Amino acid sequence: MPYSQQNRIKNHPVLQEKESVVVNFTFDDKKLFGKKGEMISSALIANGIQIFGKHPEDKAPLGIFCANGQCAQCTVLVDGIALKSCMTPLNEGQKIESIEDYPPLPEDDEEVVFKPIPTIDTDVLIIGAGPAGLQAALTLAKLGSKTILIDDKDRLGGKLLLQTHKFFGSVKDSFAGTRGIEIAKILEEQIKEFENIEVWLDSPCIAVFSDKLVGVLKGDKYVHINPKKLLVATGAREKMLTFPGNTLPGVYGAGAFQTLVNRDLVKSSEKIFIIGGGNVGIIAGYHAIQAGIEVVGLVEALPKCGGYKVHEDKLRRLDVPIYTRHTVIATHGKNHVEAVTISQIDEKFQPIKGTERTFEVDTVLIAIGLDPVNEFYVKAKEFGMDVWAAGDALEIAEASSAMFSGKIAGMKIGQSLGHTKEDVPTEWEEKAEILKSHPGPVVKIEKPIREEGICPVFHCNQEIPCNPCTSVCPKELIVIPEGGILGLPEFQKEQEVECIGCAQCVAVCPGLAVTLLDYREDSNYPEVTIPTEIFVEKVEEGDKLMVVNEDGEELGIHEVEKVRILKKYSKTQLVTVKLPKKVALEAVSFKTPKAYELKEIEQYKDIIPDEAIICRCERITAGEIRALIRMGITDANELKAKSKVGMGACGAKTCSKLIEKLFREEGISYDEITPFVQRPLFIEVPLKYFTGSQEEDE
């Protein structure tokens, strides 16, 4: 497939494709093109290849799953060597092959020179350079501590790199109103200013050992780090679900999806379905639409979505059906997802027979929550090391909260090193707490009627930790009267100064929930300025757009009067239309014409819940595990011994939580369960790295 015809996102409202060198490679002898340095998995998906191999045990198709270097589902042969395609950069001339059977070891009999493994001393080792790790490193650097900051990816930022939307939170201290991808850049620049922060990229931690050394693959070189203090800021991993078809290529986490679409700009899918109505699922849905991918629907098990109302509104306004009190019961397809079946659930979250509906989709995103990646923390604690955790590794919360969590951990570590006598500022702790807040109830707010001059209107009717609108107003006319940053903003209309219509508040709002009304020209037909980040093309004067209210109700097609783009918010188009004053207060957004029809197809028969896979590495089904649990087993290690569950390449990262759930479903309480014993290595590592001789290889 020529590069120009590949599944790549070339036009995006927010993101721009970077210039790159096109290289040749082969996959199973087929000649293909890709971008030099992109991950092989993304190059394959861009070429329309979603199936990377077959599981040697049962020939089940395998494709991308975590897109994060944690599982090994995407393994391919690269020039004869089995590697994770999501962590291996593409290079000119690579011969890539799918794996169907366990591959032979290459007959490379060249001898190796052995050298001792170096041990590196440092004040602090931070594992993970996401929002928490970066802020911790900065805090420590300012205190004068010598820090090594490691990350397994090729760039700093962690999951900030996937977040193309503007952040909530407060402007002053957590970059509210700025996109995650921009925050990553800002922090990276700050990190560069400190000589006492050593950054190691492409450097996964593989184990924390009982002799208090941390094993790290520094690029191609294996080293032991001997830190005085250890900070684990390894983030989170996505929870999975058990349903038949749950390991089909095309079923993966929202984070994996965002990695493909937002980081690597590959169009992984045409039609997706989302499981989970929290912020992660809702935002992923919006990101999909921005990338030109249809969202066929979203299910949420609870009666209401748990994500922010303003995020949910963005999806609803684009006619995405949101099915509350529903769950996924199966995905179908021969080698890839072809359809999904959902069902209503009762009070006990059990599917209600007869309510099943099946939709044609090619991708199902699981966004039902996250679990902390805390293995290194647990081990380090067990071995008596001075260890802290921050961000999602400590507690799952928003990235803005993770940044505070990192700062706090940095300060505490600085104290314990004797590098500062200052206490952690109490406001940090407070803010970290506030930023973790769940959204409040949706309230009905009276929109102030003032049919003269210029004024903003806030379509923000739920308490969430967010205040950028208040801080950007040059006239200080926007305030949050009560509740701190959790409160709802108001426009101070009885002031001497007047709103000047700069539209900063419209452009900054992460929820796209502020509009600006200008009654000066015609108080019966005020000009309404509406923010939008959905159109790939620049909206032009004279374009005709469908205007909608908060609930997505259509307010008619109106002609665009003008379009403004503020320099600081270059990806948010501020579109002005003239509306009858009756609807001007309601208007909040535009709707794009739907490019697809909801295709409901006849239900698949014979959905057998026991066929769901629990352990994707060893292909162990829910049925097998249930049968063992019903024999009276309460020790996960016994399940492992008897079924091999958890013995695969990933080290039980996904199945351990699924097993806990199966135990609960079988009526066994958490206290009765003996969890898996965790053993190194965190990821599989070729033996050659332990020879100490890798330096001279390349």
Among 29, 110, 446, 482, contact with other proteins (rule: CB under 8 A): 110
Q: Which is nearer to other proteins, 24 or 210 (CB)?
A: 210
622 belongs to the binding site for other proteins (CB under 8 A): no
Among 19, 108, 193, 537, contact with other proteins (rule: CB under 8 A): 108
Among 69, 649, 660, 668, contact with other proteins (rule: CB under 8 A): 649
Among 22, 497, 601, 641, contact with other proteins (rule: CB under 8 A): 641
In sequence order, what DSSP letters do the residues of 589-634 get, joined into one string? EEEPPP-S---EEPPPS---GGGSEEETTTTEEHHHHHHHHHTT--
Q: Which is nearer to other proteins, 127 or 633 (CB)?
A: 633
Among 185, 224, 657, 661, contact with other proteins (rule: CB under 8 A): 224
Shortest spacing between CB 649 and other proteins, in angstroms: 6
Shortest spacing between CB 92 and other proteins, in angstroms: 22
595 belongs to the binding site for other proteins (CB under 8 A): no
- CA dist list (Å): 577 to 357, 449, 526, 546, 646: 40, 19, 8, 10, 58
Cα–Cα–Cα angle for 363, 366, 372, rounded to 5 degrees: 145
Among 10, 48, 114, 553, contact with other proteins (rule: CB under 8 A): 114
- CA dist list (Å): 104 to 13, 81, 107: 46, 9, 8
Written as six digits, the tokens of 26 are: 């082969």
Among 11, 17, 79, 112, contact with other proteins (rule: CB under 8 A): 112
Q: Which is nearer to other proteins, 140 or 636 (CB)?
A: 636
Q: Which is nearer to other proteins, 82 or 274 (CB)?
A: 82
- CA dist list (Å): 511 to 2, 308, 309, 445, 469: 38, 9, 9, 17, 11
Asked if 687 contacts 216 with a C-beta cutoff of 8 angstroms, the reply is: no
Q: Which is nearer to other proteins, 75 or 290 (CB)?
A: 75
Pairing of strands 251-253, 271-275: unpaired
Among 89, 321, 369, 692, contact with other proteins (rule: CB under 8 A): 692
Residue with tokens 């038949």: 244
219 belongs to the binding site for other proteins (CB under 8 A): no
- CA dist list (Å): 399 to 167, 175, 320, 386: 8, 10, 26, 25
Of the candidate spans 31-39, 417-425, 473-481, 676-684, the one that interacts with other proteins by CB under 8 A turns out to be: 676-684
Q: Which residue, among 396, 413, 327, 421, has the nearest Cα to 366 in the 3D structure? A: 327
Shortest spacing between CB 206 and other proteins, in angstroms: 9
Q: Which is nearer to other proteins, 384 or 441 (CB)?
A: 384
Q: Which is nearer to other proteins, 490 or 635 (CB)?
A: 635
Shortest spacing between CB 265 and other proteins, in angstroms: 30
Shortest spacing between CB 412 and other proteins, in angstroms: 26
CA torsion 467-469-473-477 (nearest 10°) is -80
Among 154, 382, 522, 666, contact with other proteins (rule: CB under 8 A): 382
Cα–Cα–Cα angle for 160, 82, 243, rounded to 5 degrees: 60
Among 89, 103, 369, 440, contact with other proteins (rule: CB under 8 A): 103
Cis peptide before 365 (omega within 30 of 0): no
Q: How many residues bind other proteins (CB under 8 A)?
A: 51
Among 131, 215, 278, 281, contact with other proteins (rule: CB under 8 A): 215
What contacts 279, CB < 8 A, 6 or more positions away?
306, 307, 308, 311, 398
245 belongs to the binding site for other proteins (CB under 8 A): no
695 belongs to the binding site for other proteins (CB under 8 A): no
Of the candidate spans 208-216, 425-433, 483-491, 534-542, the one that interacts with other proteins by CB under 8 A turns out to be: 208-216
Q: Which is nearer to other proteins, 60 or 301 (CB)?
A: 60
Q: Which is nearer to other proteins, 56 or 453 (CB)?
A: 56
Shortest spacing between CB 260 and other proteins, in angstroms: 25
381 belongs to the binding site for other proteins (CB under 8 A): no
At 118 the three-state DSSP class reads coil
Rg (CA), the chain: 26
Shortest spacing between CB 96 and other proteins, in angstroms: 16
Residue with tokens 């679990």: 371
Considering only residues 63-102, where is the footprint of other proteins by CB under 8 A?
Answer: 81-82, 101-102
Beta bridge partners of 323: 299
Asked if 245 contacts 341 with a C-beta cutoff of 8 angstroms, the reply is: no
553 belongs to the binding site for other proteins (CB under 8 A): no
Asked if 407 contacts 136 with a C-beta cutoff of 8 angstroms, the reply is: yes
Of the candidate spans 12-20, 283-291, 504-512, 689-697, the one that interacts with other proteins by CB under 8 A turns out to be: 689-697
204 belongs to the binding site for other proteins (CB under 8 A): no
Cα–Cα–Cα angle for 661, 662, 664, rounded to 5 degrees: 65
635 belongs to the binding site for other proteins (CB under 8 A): yes
Shortest spacing between CB 50 and other proteins, in angstroms: 24
Of the candidate spans 275-283, 284-292, 328-336, 686-694, the one that interacts with other proteins by CB under 8 A turns out to be: 686-694
Angle formed by the axes of helices 426-435 and 399-416, to 10°?
150
HEC readout, 623-647: HHHHHHHHCCCCEHHHHHHHHCCCC
Of the candidate spans 238-246, 261-269, 431-439, 681-689, the one that interacts with other proteins by CB under 8 A turns out to be: 681-689
In sequence order, what DSSP letters do the residues of 43-104 get, joined into one string? HHHHTT----EE-TTT--EE--SSSSSSS-TTEEEETTEEEETTTSB--TTEEEE-BSSPPP
107 belongs to the binding site for other proteins (CB under 8 A): yes
Shortest spacing between CB 674 and other proteins, in angstroms: 5
Shortest spacing between CB 114 and other proteins, in angstroms: 5
Asked if 126 contacts 149 with a C-beta cutoff of 8 angstroms, the reply is: yes
Of the candidate spans 103-111, 188-196, 449-457, 594-602, the one that interacts with other proteins by CB under 8 A turns out to be: 103-111
350 belongs to the binding site for other proteins (CB under 8 A): no
Angstrom distance (rounded) from CA 662 to CA 614: 9
Q: Which is nearer to other proteins, 395 or 635 (CB)?
A: 635
Considering only residues 302-331, where is the footprint of other proteins by CB under 8 A?
Answer: none
Q: Which residue, among 232, 224, 236, 235, has the nearest Cα to 126 in the 3D structure? A: 232
Q: Which residue, among 331, 365, 181, 155, has the nearest Cα to 257 in the 3D structure? A: 365
Residue 339 burial class via C-beta count within 10 angstroms: exposed 0-12, middle 13-18, buried 19 and up: buried
Q: Which is nearer to other proteins, 20 or 674 (CB)?
A: 674
Residues binding other proteins (CB under 8 A): 56, 81-82, 101-112, 114, 116-117, 207, 209-211, 213, 215, 222, 224, 382-383, 633-635, 637-638, 640-642, 649, 651, 674, 679-681, 684-692
